[in-house]
Amino acid sequence: MGMWTAVVVVSLAIIIAGIFSDKGKRRHNEELAEELKKLRVKVNALDKDLRYRVATLERIVTNPQEDLKRQFEHLDKAS
């Protein structure tokens, strides 16, 4: 094998290895992007649920009827 043949073979091997490496990286990036998308959906769902719960709690705490109920319950327990 001549020197130029060896240079061509090594160059081709490096190019082919680079192509496979890029495909692997691209596939890995696509998997990460999909996982990130799923996590965003979960976080958004949790955020929505927590906002709903906080709004419910705020409504209960600021409702004068609920305060009156608590006062009656406290009096019932005290007696």
* Exposed/middle/buried for residue 31 (C-beta within 10 Å: 0-12, 13-18, 19+): exposed
pLDDT at 20: 73
pLDDT at 22: 72
pTM above 0.75, yes or no: no
21 band by pLDDT with thresholds 50, 70 and 90: confident
Residue matched to tokens 């596939």: 27
pLDDT at 25 exceeding the cut of 80: no
Beta-carbon contacts of 60 under 8 Å, excluding residues fewer than 6 positions away, are 66
Distance from C-alpha of 6 to C-alpha of 48, rounded to nearest angstrom: 63
Going by the DSSP 8-state scheme, the letter that residue 60 receives in this structure is H
